[in-house]
Amino acid sequence: MWQFEHKAKTLGYKNIAGIDEAGRGPLAGPVVSAAVILPHDFSCKGINDSKKLSEKKRNAFFPVIKKQAICVAIGLSSHHEIDQINILQASLLSMRRAVENLSIPPDFLLIDGKFTLDITIDQTAVIKGDSKSISIAAASIIAKVTRDAIMKELHEKYPRYNFIQHKGYPTKAHKEAILKYGPCPVHRRTFKGVKEVTHAG
């Protein structure tokens, strides 16, 4: 899990940030990215891609990462931006915002996926990086737990969609709620399952 970080270190980079996002697939809410710079002696057994961890484990790892990391930052892209510029561009924008929000400027970025960011920092994209890089895995946990918390807040505001259960993902129950009540203000209007339903919720 340290191979990419160690390679960057041997090339002379010091502050290596892992970046990942959560929330590309849901029909509602923002896409949330995290950027994490870990110390070389970071130790947290069992950290992996957030999708492979239970909610309980993610919630347990979250404060450990926050406490031990040199730096952690979040970047968001709203449902409005997702509809305006598409989900891929909004995801990359949220990642860039996360990097720009770091209190310590990174000199190298490890980005989950196959796309790099429009930013003047040396970087590399790592496909399935959340299961190959410790920094990206840590970012995936921070992003996922943060986004889940946002969706829980949105559940309080729009309880009939039950965001607390599915976090905005296109489950059968979620799609049925959209059909029944129409989209709410935080639904992504350009997404299949929402755009076909026009009556206001």
- CA dihedral (116, 118, 121, 126) in degrees, to 10, reads -10
Q: Identify any residues that bridge with 75 across adjacent strands, giving them in sequence order.
A: 33
Question: pTM above the 0.85 mark?
Answer: yes
CA distance 25 to 14: 33
How many structural domains is the chain composed of? 1
Whether the Cβ atoms of residue 124 and residue 5 lie closer than 8 Å to each other: no
Residue 14 placed within a domain: yes
Residue 7 placed within a domain: yes
Residue 76 placed within a domain: yes
Amino acid sitting at position 130: D
pLDDT band at 199 (very low <50, low <70, confident <90, very high): low
Residue 129 placed within a domain: yes
Whether the Cβ atoms of residue 169 and residue 151 lie closer than 8 Å to each other: no
pLDDT in tens, 47-73: 866 778 889 999 999 999 999 999 999
The CATH number of the domain holding residue 135 is 3.30.420.10
pLDDT of residue 49: 67
Mean predicted confidence (pLDDT) in 24-44? 94
